A and B are shown apart, each in its own frame.
Chain A
Amino acid sequence: MKSKTSFINRGILRNDFKRYTWIGIVYLLGLLLTIPLKLVMLFSRPDGIKMYYTARTYLQVLQLDYFPNLILIIIVPVLTGLLLFRYLQTNTAADMVHALPIKRETLYNTHIAAGLTLLLVPVIITALVSWAVVTGLGIEFIQGKHILSWLGICLLMNLVFFLSTVAVGMFTGLSTLQGLLTYILLLVPAGLSVLVLHSLKMHVYGFPYDLYAAANLDKLSPLLRLPSSVNIPLSTGELIFYILLCIALYLIGRYLYQQRKVESAGDAITFAILRPIFKYCVTFCTMLLLGSYFHETQGNIIWTYCGYLLGAGLGYFLTEILLEKSIDVFHWQRARGLGIYALVIIALVGFLQVDFTGYEKRLPELSQVESVYMDSYFHPLIYHNDNAPFQPYQKLYKDKDNILNIYNLQREIIAHRSEEKGVIIPPWSTNHTRVCLAYQLKDGNCVYRDYIINTAKYKEQLKPIYESREYKVNQYQLLRVNIDDIKLVEINNHYGNKNVSISDKELMRQAVAVLRNDIYGQNYDNMTMTRKPPWADIAITLAWEKNPPPDIGSDVAMISNNNTATSENNYQIYLSWEKSYTHFERWLQSTGLYNQARLLPGEDISYALVDYAPDGIDRATYDDLMGNRLLKEKPGVLKVSDPVQLELCLQNYQDSYTEQAVYMIVFELKNGSSFYGLFPSAEVPGFIKEHFAQ
């Protein structure tokens, strides 16, 4: 009698193929239709269309974010895992199979072998057929390495998904739950990270959520990593990780199979020890999910806590129902677990609220700070990619004084954190400024913080920073460009079609010099009082060899592609001719360009109409009133046509809505167009006050 244990059982293997070869065939057909056939289809299009094809058109078919391909790779391996191990999840089938004279390990290995054959053979055949199609038709854009890379990642991900499904199947006894849990577990590392980070953002003042949340969380989930591998190819480290993951999943599955009791088919979770873990994990996840959801949609801390309560209760009792296979779970005894859980969570939130770790009040050692990044977002830090041709510009401060200024600002923010904590400020608030900080320390460490502060409250700390030369250099691209790269300076006013183009080298040099002077001369109030519209917009055209230099970064607009003669690219940077740019104004007057550069009373503007702003007017009413030109000439409305008075109005009006609006004004241009604005009480010209005083 045969008694030696074999690695696989031929009878079972043959039976698996007999029952499930259709999966392999369907998979093969699906893959053949989505890849080789698609290549043939692309190739067979009329030449008129094909001439616009690039390598990309063909290569897209072989990319793993190509939807039909992606769907197949995500669904088929999981389905195969579910079907091959389906017998474990039905009592009668499990009894029948385990009464056979075959060891569990042999059964496991045999089904794994069957699954791998059903999945990997179609993928390999597809790669071979694709290669034959590419060589046969002579599609030059696709090379062997492209097909090989598709094959490699495809095989690997098939393995990961299939083995995950099998391993999950060992600790659950329901096929539906097995499928669901597989996808959830494939997503959980990334999903849970986002939820935890988001919760930290809600409870820890200054926590830089955006920075961490954007930091390639897809790398934590094979399911997300598959499509993202198109833009960021899998690194060698990741490949090794996934191979090790496959081995680990195989071993975990094998171990759990041996430990699993046959009678646990039909149980939600087959190991008693995992049941509470499962229950509290689900409770935790649903709690964070609903809390974050309510926080984001309602923007209110009460809602957030209600979300926590609802989420935890829902998650807890739903898993109880699932585990007990009964809805009779709403007893006080059962709620005890939830009560203990709630106490732990309350303690945890409490720790975060009282800043147990000292995170909120921690300031870096000033002497250790090498530089500080300060901006209103973390975008340039997040999207910093050493391999990209050019990087976003990072606003770094290295000047000792500025580091101290920023340090002081942060110290002040920390000192007032109890007033700000938990207050949710809508991102569109004009009264607030977002301060994203990243201290680079001498020991190589970084300290990141993210605050939204009331601008007016921190004026004293912001003022020295804003007025520093370094800040202005960071803020204005014009201060960072080389004058020799400038090809054209244009001043445009879009209401009155008044334009000035300066292409003379010397004039451009002068214009840029005075503009720089003006920018350097700006004080804090000028820089933050942005409500007075500029006289005109300035566009500066620059030409660089291929890419912008690093101190400009990627935040410039490319306006024309390769200039074939010089192999240069043209880019444009934009700034405004603010009313406070007096040097520039004088320079324009001295060159005689002034009248061409701005709208002039009398010459361009025929008259203006001024009326009271209705008491407590809101933004919508104001926009409706002014945008639809409802302010018309009628008794009581002041008509201003004196050029001196018009100039006064132009100098002082604001164009964006403010609650302090006292008067509204509309300027009527000779060309028929108009623009509007308003006067807050502090900026009302004397003659208007006098008129309405009567």
Chain B
Amino acid sequence: MIEVERVSKQFQDLEALREVSLAVHKGSVYGLVGSNGAGKTTMLKLLAGIYKPDSGNLMIDSQPVFENEAIKTRCVFIPDILYFFLNYTIQDMADFYANIYPQWNNQRYLKLANVFNIEVKRRIRTLSKGMQRQVALWLGLALMPDVMILDEPLDGLDPVMRQKVKNLIIQDVAEREMTIIISSHNLRELEDICDYIGILHQGKMLIQKDFDDLRADVHKIQVAFSGEIPPALLEQTQTLYHEQRGSVLILIVRGAYSEIISHMQSYNPAVLDILPLTLEEIFIYEMGDNGYEIKNILY
């Protein structure tokens, strides 16, 4: 669906993105994570066809996005800093989009009015930041996009609204196979909705993972032995991290779940526990390999 190949973008003397590649499949949710200034917004604006890449390819459905009306009609971009025309009410804005996008769904717009529960006659600029964000999503969803590009969409929303928004988005993904690329500086926030995660740091893609693979691939194991820890224990496993607390050994191991369990059990441990791993931890340990201080990137 979305293919980005070695895309670079330079702003005057600042290199915002350097040879970034990513791919998002139809109907999946891609989370773009990175600290401020990592290049997330630039990446998303490139995908929305606002910026023109300096080099590399940027395709949606195998077509370049920039200046492509047909592709852009199917995409909705909700930026981190919203813009609405001066003095426009929600209805005015809806009329505007209805005039521009042929697939504008007025039924959906009216239906969503109940979800968001904001008076359509209100001037958008008089609304609070959180409410404006809701309006943007509301209008965006009424456009029935195939691709939704969301820049920090949950920023400024209260927890209840956050969940509501996530649900709405996920619903569209499930029902209509909508594709989503969403950015956040907070990995935890994306944990429950993303299929893929990409981490940008200083304009470069550090790591990209299929979330399910990741979960299936990395495990946190707590083992204890009554006697000595068998020296061969770690030799045949791909250990990302190990820590010994007394006789208890905590391991972060990469590999197939069943293989690891059977491998561990072959040493007859006194205790063998599989502990849950947060997304954040997975990344921290994954990155540990690459020698990055992930905690400085994700907070």
Interface residues of A (CB under 8 A from B): 1-3, 5, 9-12, 14-15, 18-19, 90-96, 98-104, 261-263, 272
Contact = CB atoms under 8 A, between A and B. Distances in A.
A1 B85 CA distance: 27
Interface stretch (B68-76, B219-227, B283-291): B68-76
B232 interface: no
Given A93-B83, A101-B69, A14 B50 contact: no
B51 A99 contact: no
Given A92-B79, A99-B49, A99-B77, A11 B100 contact: yes
25 contacts: A1-B73, A1-B102, A2-B69, A2-B70, A2-B73, A3-B69, A5-B69, A10-B99, A11-B96, A14-B99, A92-B81, A92-B82, A92-B83, A95-B79, A98-B50, A99-B75, A99-B77, A99-B79, A101-B71, A101-B72, A102-B69, A102-B100, A261-B52, A262-B45, A263-B51
B100 A12 contact: yes
B99 A96 contact: no
A101 B83 contact: no
Chain A contact residues: helix, strand, loop or mixed: helix
A1 B71 CA distance: 9
Given A95-B50, A263-B11, A263-B51, A11 B99 contact: yes
B50 to A, nearest CB: 5
A19 B85 contact: yes
Contacts of A103: 67, 69
Contacts of B51: 261-263
A100 B72 contact: yes
Interface string B60-71: 000000010111
Contacts of B85: 15, 19
Interface string B1-34: 0000000000110000000000000000000000
B215 to A, nearest CB: 34
A101 B71 CA distance: 8
B187 to A, nearest CB: 25
B218 interface: no
A98 B46 CA distance: 11
Contacts of A3: 69-70
A96 B71 CA distance: 16
A3 B12 CA distance: 33
B147 to A, nearest CB: 12
Interface in B33-48: 45, 48
Nearest to A106: B69
B101 interface: yes
A19 B67 CA distance: 25
A307 B85 CA distance: 47
B72 to A, nearest CB: 4
A261 B10 CA distance: 11
Contacts of B79: 92, 95-96, 99
Contacts of A262: 45, 50-51
Nearest to A92: B83
B58 to A, nearest CB: 14
A14 B45 CA distance: 26
A313 to B, nearest CB: 25
A261 B45 CA distance: 12
Nearest to A14: B99
Nearest to B52: A261
Nearest to B70: A3
Contacts of A98: 49-50
Interface string B77-90: 10101110110000
Contacts of B71: 101
B235 to A, nearest CB: 53
Given A1-B70, A19-B85, A99-B72, 20 more contacts: A1-B73, A2-B102, A15-B85, A15-B99, A91-B81, A95-B50, A95-B79, A96-B83, A98-B50, A99-B49, A99-B50, A99-B77, A101-B69, A101-B70, A101-B71, A101-B72, A101-B100, A103-B67, A262-B50, A272-B12
A102 B67 CA distance: 7
A13 to B, nearest CB: 9
A447 B77 CA distance: 67
Nearest to B9: A263
Contacts of B99: 10-11, 14-15
B158 to A, nearest CB: 23
